[in-house]
Structure 1
């Protein structure tokens, strides 16, 4: 879509109160649904719009990850830090370089307001690694930065709050919340781990022994205040929430997959032996990737709908415009049938474009 038409479409959406198509979290949104309901892409006639080579150095602890899309830019990690490119033209917009690439892990990114949040940590200590939060403006300038004693294992950004959790042999496990605008500490909980998923500001926390071992209890808290909404005597590792916020999809220590009522924590259905951390949901269906297989289950009942073996290991699946992107074959989401198109690597859809990170290359496709 030409830049002028894209700007007009965004302005029209804002004036009409409609959502602007973005992919501003690793999982599309804080719910980690990995589903963009506003994308308009088709794959029958994909055309390469532009591409960029991502920065590469011989020695680095940082690497490449799925892109995020916001503020008319595509943000990507590379071996030296973070770069961004114009969504339509691929022109370089932002370049942020670590002070030491050998001691900065690949950051998890999210855009909140006018800031790009980077959550990562050091790489040179196994026994006492530290965490780090960095907030950049869209010119790559650091607005605030925090050094944290525990490493960052999970992060979620929602309601103007950055919520992180982590532990190490030298650090007791904790969850901590910080204000997006300035990094100000808001609240913390010792002996808990965040699932890294928020359903409209409601975040499940798993109680632990302080060293990563589940202690048999899950509490959902308000991300802004830390106040509990419900507590259940089960250790749930939540991987996604439904687009309408009504459900959490989680696994437990026995390897079961379950749907939980987000408001109460009640188990709606449970299926043994289906645990995986790679999930996506468009509302009616829940999509699962494990090994070289991808499958779909009915989100209302947990009953299997279809399953397909892939030629290689599946990556985190993503959804848009009735299509399921698997890191290989692009499938029809409702049936699992191949479209005849394959896109390796990490793929996200925003507006009328696809953005793919495959190794050291970022490529944008239009249809």
Structure 2
């Protein structure tokens, strides 16, 4: 793998606390909710304009696609078809690039930021029977690799929390597993075979399904402490965590039929179950759960699961994001409290932080403010 530096300036590993969006889902809870956005609100959203746009790198034989951007320390990080690129958030200038050694056999990675490192988790994309995974830690300021390791399972889910990067996956020839590695040096912290987890951590607790080792669920779900790998509790249920509330009090989970429920992080006690319907595309703030299905967007009370409002967009929705009291779901920007139109149409997924909207659309990274 080859590094191209776009700047000779050395930067500190101590990254700015704000603005920050260090996971694709904003945080380790995968909430897609930025509680710190105070600039782009209902008063400002109708006045935002595009500030810059860049074309992401492409490759005719690349197996990697365009990823979702993340943000920290004044830089936007995004995967493209040739590797990883970092851009200055204010101007779009290239800070650095990191190239895949073999773009034709590198899948679109999952990325996250922690302790001044950009964690890149992916693997090969051609082997169906025995795929492998790879984790790379890049210096977030320079793009220089700090450590890299191969893992014996494909990486289907990733979460970074409490100084650990936790991956999960399995294949026909690789027993299902959850593996935790230290962010600072890649050392393995713990491993649990015959478990599968999603990319969600509720302030250090992850939810995992117990399997037979080859992706067949046994009907038990366990809560695992991310720092030690110990089981906090287990319940007879087949739950997959879709998100956790910003305060980490509850998991939002789906069962094998797609029904959405809220369960307590502390003991797994179910709190409410929503009517049946697709529930994997959700966001959650301190008051509401937002879910998107086709053109339909609705808000449920986070405490009781009751519908607060529902609207139908002109176009199919995308992963919802909430910031500054607004909902971005692929159509007109909505008011989070009542679902009323608050701003113009904004197609595609977004991240919103520090008074800027960043998004990747048709191979281009753009910023509005």
TM-score, normalising length: structure 1 = 0.92
Alignment partner for residue 266 of structure 1, among 263, 269, 280? 269
Contact 2:18 2:72 in 1 (8 A): no
SS of 2:104's partner is helix
1:205 maps to 2:208: yes
Q: TM-score scaled by structure 2?
A: 0.92
Please name the residue that 1:6 is paired with: none
Residue 121 (structure 1) aligned to one of 112, 120, 123: 123
For residue 54 of structure 1, report the CA deviation from its aligned partner.
0.7
**1:300-328 Cα shifts (integer Å, max 9, x gaps):** 11111122222332221111001111123
Determine the structure 2 residue equivalent to 1:60: 62
Q: Identify the match of residue 32 of structure 1 among 30, 33, 38.
A: 30
CA distance in 2, matches of 1:79, 1:346: 19
Q: Which residue of 2 aligns with 1:296?
A: 299
Shift of 1:44: 1.3
**Cα RMSD for the two superposed structures:** 1.6
The Cα of 1:331 is off from its aligned counterpart by 1.3
Q: Does 1:316 find its partner at 2:314?
A: no
What is the CA–CA distance in structure 2 between the aligned matches of 1:323 and 1:259, rounded to whole Å? Answer: 23
Alignment of 1:202-281 (within 5 A): 202-281=205-284
Aligned to 2:80: 78
Unpaired runs of 5+ residues, structure 2, are 1-13
Give the CA deviation at 1:110. Answer: 0.3
* Gap regions ≥5 residues in structure 1: 1-10
Give the deviation of 1:232 after TM superposition: 1.0
Shift of 1:358: 0.7
Task: Confirm whether residue 182 of structure 1 aligns to residue 182 of structure 2.
Answer: no
Rounded to whole Å, the distance in 2 between the matches of 1:148 and 1:195 is 17
Distance 1:258 1:31 in 2: 16
2:178 and 2:139 map into 1 onto residues whose CA distance is 25
8 Å CA contact 1:195, 1:206 repeated in 2: no
Q: Is the 8 A contact 1:238 1:248 kept in 2?
A: yes
- Counting matched residue pairs gives 351
**Is residue 121–residue 134 contact of structure 2 (8 Å, CA) maintained in 1?**
yes
Contact 2:58 2:82 in 1 (8 A): yes
Does structure 2 retain, via aligned residues, the 8 Å contact 1:255–1:272? no
